[in-house]
Amino acid sequence: MTAHTSSLSSGVAAVSSAARVSVEAPCGRLSLRARGDLSALEGALGLALPRKVGGRAAAGELQALCLGPDEWMLHAPLAAVSGLVEACAGVYGALPHSLVDVSGREVSFQISGPRAAELLTLGCARDIDTIAVGEGRRTLFDGSTVILWRDAADSFRMDVWNSFASHLLHLLEVGVRELAAEAL
């Protein structure tokens, strides 16, 4: 299989004493939609799907984030995507659902550092502190829809659609410098 080549190359995009922003390597992404008794799907995925919006679950390298009452974003290694698609297709008859490969749709930024949360306040109207560590949300950053995963108090991932990436990355880069220039 041909490796993904991203128009934004993976690696550190901006770093300062305040925060660090890097573009993550491509990963597998699946948009899952289903409702009702999810046990068949959970069996296929090998993971208990979180039911609360913003909740997350992980099994091995598969991660799931509940985005809406019947919607999850799954992240997995690229190589695992076809297996997951196949496994879920196997239970489609038992539990009709929609599983769409969106690996090519998005890119993720890793945002970390002592003032990572504050960096997000440059463009996010919601209170970042209401996203607990280990949770995630779909929200708006600088006018664009993004998915935020909070992996630690000072470490986030931001999933953005490809065509918005350079715009959002530009603001994050400005912010990384701006925060570092601030005397606290």
Partner 1 sequence: MSNYRVSGRGRVDTARPISFTFDGKTYRGAKGDTVASALLANGVHLMGRSFKYHRPRGAVAAGSEEPNALIGTRRGPGRFEPNTRATVQEIWEGLETTSQNKFPSLKFDVGAVNDAAYMLFSAGFYYKTFMWPRSFWDKVYEPFIRAAAGLGVSPKEEDPDHYASRYLHCDVLVVGAGPTGLAAARAAAVGGLKVVLVDENAEAGGTLLSEPQARIDGRPAWDWLTAELAALKELGVKIMTRTTAIGYYHQNMIGMVEKLTDHLPALPADTPRERMWRVRARQVVLAQGALEKPLVFHGNDRPGVMLAGSAQTFLNRYGVLVGKKPVVITSHDSAWYAAFDLQDAGAKVQAIVDIRGTVSEALLSGARSRGITVKLSHTATGTSGRLRVSSLRVNPVTNGAVGAGEEISCDAVLMSGGWTPSLHLFSHTKGSLAWDDDRTTFLPKDTPEDCVIAGASRGLWGIAAVLADGAEKGRAVAEALGQTPAPAAAQAVEGDRTGSGVSMTELPTDRSPGKAKAFVDYQNDVTAKDLRLAVREGMRSIEHVKRYTTNGMATDQGKMSNINGLNIAADALGKKQPQVGLTTFRPPYTPTTFGAFAGYHRGGHFEVTRKTQIDSWAEEHGAVFEPVSQWRRAWYFPKPGEDMDTAVRRECVATRKSVGIFDASTLGKIEVVGPDAVEFMNRMYTNPWTKLAPGRCRYGLLLGDDGYIRDDGVIGRLSEDKFHVTTTTGGAARVLNMMEDYLQTEWPDLNVWLTSTTEQWSTIALNGPDAAKLLAPFVEGVELTEDAFPHMSCVECTVAGLPARLFRVSFTGEIGFEINVRAHEGRKLWETLWEAGQQYGITAYGTETMHVLRAEKGYIIVGQDTDGTVTPYDCGMGWAVGKKKPDFVGMRGLARPDLVAKGRKQFVGLLTEDKSRLEEGAQIVFDPKQAIPMKMVGHVTSSYLSDTVGQPIALAVIEGGHERMGETVYIPMPDRIIAAKITDPVFVDPENTRLKI
Partner 2 sequence: MLLIHCPYCSETLPEVEFTYAGEAHIVRPETPSAQSDADWEGFLFLRSNVRGPHYERWRHLHGCGRYFNAVRDTVSDKFLTTYKAGEPRPDLSTLTVTQK
Task: Please report, as ranges, the residues that interact with partner 2 according to CB under 8 A.
Answer: 53-54, 67-69, 71, 125-126, 130, 137-140, 145
59 interface partner picked from partner 2, partner 1, none, CB below 5 to 8 A per type: none
Is 74:29 a contact under the CB 8 Å cutoff?
yes
Residue 70's nearest CA partner among 122, 34, 124, 29 is: 34
137 interface partner picked from partner 2, partner 1, none, CB below 5 to 8 A per type: partner 2
Euclidean distance between the first and the last CA atom of the chain, given in angstroms as a whole number: 50
Tell whether residue 167 is a contact of partner 1 (CB under 8 A).
Answer: yes
Q: Which is nearer to partner 2, 125 or 184 (CB)?
A: 125
Tell whether residue 114 is a contact of partner 1 (CB under 8 A).
Answer: no
Q: How far is the CB of 126 from partner 1 (least distance, A)?
A: 8
**Pairing of the two strands 20-23 and 62-68:** unpaired
67 interface partner picked from partner 2, partner 1, none, CB below 5 to 8 A per type: partner 2
Instruction: Name the β-bridge partners of 63.
Output: 58, 75
Query: Residue 152: which residues within 8 A CB-CB, separation 6 or more?
Result: 112, 133
Q: Which is nearer to partner 2, 67 or 88 (CB)?
A: 67
Q: What is the dihedral of CA 83, 22, 164, 121, to 10 degrees?
A: 120
Q: Which is nearer to partner 1, 52 or 182 (CB)?
A: 182
DSSP 45: H
Q: How far is the CB of 123 from partner 2 (least distance, A)?
A: 11
Task: Tokens for 55, please give them.
Answer: 């909740």
Q: At 176, is the secondary structure helix, strand, or coil?
A: helix
Footprint of partner 1 (CB under 8 A): 2, 4-7, 26, 31, 33-34, 70, 92, 96-106, 118, 121-122, 124-125, 127, 129, 142-144, 161-164, 166-167, 170-171, 174, 177-178, 180-182
